[in-house]
């Protein structure tokens, strides 16, 4: 039976899988020790659980467990990668390259670096949202120390050619960081094949708990120079001080193990549902534009614009469907999404955009309901919109 409201905002966060909850529960009450307590069994049990979770995360992305460093989530991991690399380097002629469509967890640290005297180059994507690798190459300078390009965009879901970018950066001695928060657990990720030096991930995008994530740091000699964001105990090989969140880490590990086992069939299932949603909308509506590459994208992502209507009423009318707008609007400053603007979507269309994020709990019945709900709403709003005459 269909249950309302319907959740289609899995890019924002995901429900925690019951199997993950079951794995975490003992570490709140029974196995509650501090993994840094080395003198008794409570600490040993926690230490072993953390080590097991570290292996599970490493196995998901093809890494060595020693390359996994636990953080509070992808935002901290992004900051640790971007600011940590830059802070560890002499500021003279230091240069960082990123893209205009990155998440603010990368863009904002880059802007902070600029205020501190670091030069940052911003590469624009093509109209399909994917970067031109030649543009990355042109942006590199003798002083470039870091390139940061996300694996999959959080709004339009496009997949970037990370391995091709790594083929440019690695021979030049330039570090490559990728924010893979939206991609890990959804598409196959192998850090060795990609050639990245640093990779950010988080649990709550793959049916794990909030407040826990990790930064992959490639092991090499000499060790990558990364300055910690804060000090106090030297945990996580000196990169992230603080008592470890053992229940969260266990949850991240359990989520990673489930994704590793079920990734391929789940990707096929949600990809088919995503296509069903798009086909259903296009069968009932004209003027439906997919934002971003229709091929190189996450299987669970659909970002579409609807022409001929005012976008402000779009989300309001979807009272029983949880989705996100393609526009990061507020009532005070209704600015369209920086991602949609960067790929050339006109402001009016950007404001009339929806991001559908399907997930592990999404069903065919929910997709069919959303098709009817959105189609009826868009039709009604177009009839009422002053923009209808321009169509």
Query: Which residues have a Cβ under 8 Å from the Cβ of 172 and sit 6 or more positions away?
Result: 140, 144
Q: What length does the chain have?
A: 391
Location of structure tokens 């890019």: 11
Query: Which residues have a Cβ under 8 Å from the Cβ of 11 and sit 6 or more positions away?
Result: 154, 155, 157, 182, 205, 301, 324, 355, 357
- Give dist(CA 251, CA 1) in Å, integer: 30
Q: Where are the alpha helices (DSSP H) in the chain?
A: 18-24, 26-29, 41-61, 74-87, 104-115, 133-139, 162-172, 191-194, 246-284, 312-317, 338-342, 347-351, 364-384
Burial grade of 21 (CB within 10 A; 0-12, 13-18, 19 or more): middle
Contact status, residue 252 vs residue 213, Cβ threshold 8 Å: yes
- Give dist(CA 321, CA 221) in Å, integer: 51
- Give dist(CA 52, CA 122) in Å, integer: 39
- Give dist(CA 324, CA 155) in Å, integer: 9
In sign, the C-alpha dihedral spanning 186, 187, 193, 197 is negative
Burial grade of 295 (CB within 10 A; 0-12, 13-18, 19 or more): exposed
Location of structure tokens 């560890």: 88
Contact status, residue 163 vs residue 176, Cβ threshold 8 Å: no
Among 308, 300, 288, 292, residue whose Cα is nearest residue 371: 288
- List the beta bridge partners of residue 217: 198
User: Which residues does the annotation mark as catalytic?
Assistant: 329
- List the beta bridge partners of residue 7: 322
* Type and span of the H or E element at 301: strand 301-306
């Amino acid at each position: 039976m269909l249950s309302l409201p319907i959740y289609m905002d899995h890019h924002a966060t995901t429900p925690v899988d019951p199997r993950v909850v079951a794995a975490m529960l003992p570490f709140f009450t029974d196995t509650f020790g501090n993994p840094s307590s080395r003198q008794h069994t409570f600490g040993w049990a926690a230490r072993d659980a953390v080590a097991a979770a570290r292996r599970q995360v490493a196995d998901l992305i093809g890494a060595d467990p020693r390359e996994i460093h636990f953080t509070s989530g992808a935002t901290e991991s992004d900051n640790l990668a971007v600011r940590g690399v830059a802070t560890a380097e002499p500021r003279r002629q230091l240069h960082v390259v990123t893209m205009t469509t990155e998440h603010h967890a990368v863009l904002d640290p880059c802007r902070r670096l600029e205020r501190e005297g670091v030069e940052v180059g911003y590469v624009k994507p093509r109209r399909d949202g994917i970067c031109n690798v030649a543009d990355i190459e042109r942006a590199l300078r003798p002083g470039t120390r870091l390139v940061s390009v996300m694996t999959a965009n959080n709004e339009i879901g496009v997949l970037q050619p990370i391995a091709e970018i790594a083929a440019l950066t690695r021979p030049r001695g330039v570090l490559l960081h990728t924010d893979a928060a939206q991609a890990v657990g959804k598409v196959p990720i192998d850090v060795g094949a990609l050639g990245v030096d640093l990779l950010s991930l988080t649990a709550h995008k793959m049916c794990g708990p909030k407040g826990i994530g990790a930064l992959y740091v490639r092991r090499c000699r000499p060790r990558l120079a990364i300055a910690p964001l804060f000090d106090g105990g030297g945990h996580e090989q000196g990169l992230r001080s603080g008592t470890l969140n053992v229940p969260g880490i266990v949850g991240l590990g359990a989520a990673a193990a489930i994704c590793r086992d079920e990734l391929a069939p789940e990707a096929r299932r949600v990809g088919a549902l995503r296509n069903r949603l798009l086909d259903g909308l296009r069968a009932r509506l004209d003027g439906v534009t997919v934002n971003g590459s229709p091929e190189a994208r996450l299987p669970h992502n659909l970002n579409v614009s609807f022409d001929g209507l005012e976008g402000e009423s779009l989300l309001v009318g979807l009272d029983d469907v949880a989705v996100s707008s393609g526009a990061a609007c507020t009532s005070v400053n209704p600015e369209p999404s920086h991602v949609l603007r960067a790929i050339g979507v006109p402001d009016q269309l950007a404001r009339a955009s929806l991001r559908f994020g399907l997930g592990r709990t999404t069903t065919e019945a929910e997709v069919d309901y959303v098709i009817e709900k959105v189609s009826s709403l868009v039709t009604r709003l177009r009839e009422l919109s002053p923009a209808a005459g321009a169509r």
